[in-house]
Amino acid sequence: MIEIIPAIDIIDGKCVRLTQGDFAVKTIYAENPLEVARCFERAGFRRLHVVDLDGAKAGRMVNLALLREVTLNTKLSVDFGGGIASDSEIEQAFRVGGAAQVVCGSVAVTNPALFEKWLVRFGAEKIILAADVRGEMVAIAGWQASAGQSVMDFLSHYRELGVCHVLCTDIERDGVLSGPAFELYEKITARFP
Could you give the residue numbers annotated as active site?
9, 132
DSSP 8-state secondary structure symbol assigned to residue 13: T
What SS3 state is found at 125? helix
* Phi, psi angles (nearest 5°) of residue 8: -125, 120
In single-letter form, the type of residue at position 31 comes to: E
The rounded distance, in Å, linking the Cα atoms of 126 and 23 is 28
Q: Alpha helices, DSSP H only, in the chain? A: 33-42, 53-58, 64-73, 87-95, 106-110, 112-122, 151-160, 182-191
The rounded distance, in Å, linking the Cα atoms of 132 and 165 is 13
168 close to 45: Cβ distance less than 8 angstroms: no
The rounded distance, in Å, linking the Cα atoms of 154 and 11 is 28
168 close to 175: Cβ distance less than 8 angstroms: no
Distances (CA, A) of 80 to 25, 135, 141, 163: 23, 25, 16, 17
